[in-house]
Amino acid sequence: MSINTPLGATCLGEGRAGFPVRTPLAESVAIHIGKPEEQQVLLGQGKRGYYCGDTAGTAPDPLSYYILNGHSEGGQV
């Protein structure tokens, strides 16, 4: 990932969504997806504080939020 990588939920097609985020002080980052099925995905840690991951079976506009260091951070992504 680079400084030019768009952050936030990104539709990858075929029911998949990507979730890149930059949070250099976090020790862990997960994304909680609320529909069509509840799921939680731990994002992989990259360089310079970037985390990323993707999900399968995600609705086009998923209700989701980030979980930083095991704690929910309110608000939708």
Per-residue pLDDT tens over the stretch 34-70: 776 788 889 999 888 999 988 887 766 667 888 999 8
Burial of 44 (0-12, 13-18, 19+ CB in 10 A): exposed
Residue 2 has pLDDT above 80, yes or no: no
Higher-scoring residue by pLDDT: 2, 22: 22
Q: Can you state the percent helix, strand and coil of the chain, rounding each to 5? A: 0, 40, 60
User: What distance in Å separates the CA atoms of residue 39 and residue 5, rounded to the nearest whole number?
Assistant: 25
Instruction: Determine the CATH number of domain 10-69.
Output: 2.60.40.10
Sorted by where each begins, the domain ranges of the chain are 10-69
Average pLDDT over residues 20-33: 90
Is pLDDT larger for residue 62 or for residue 31?
31
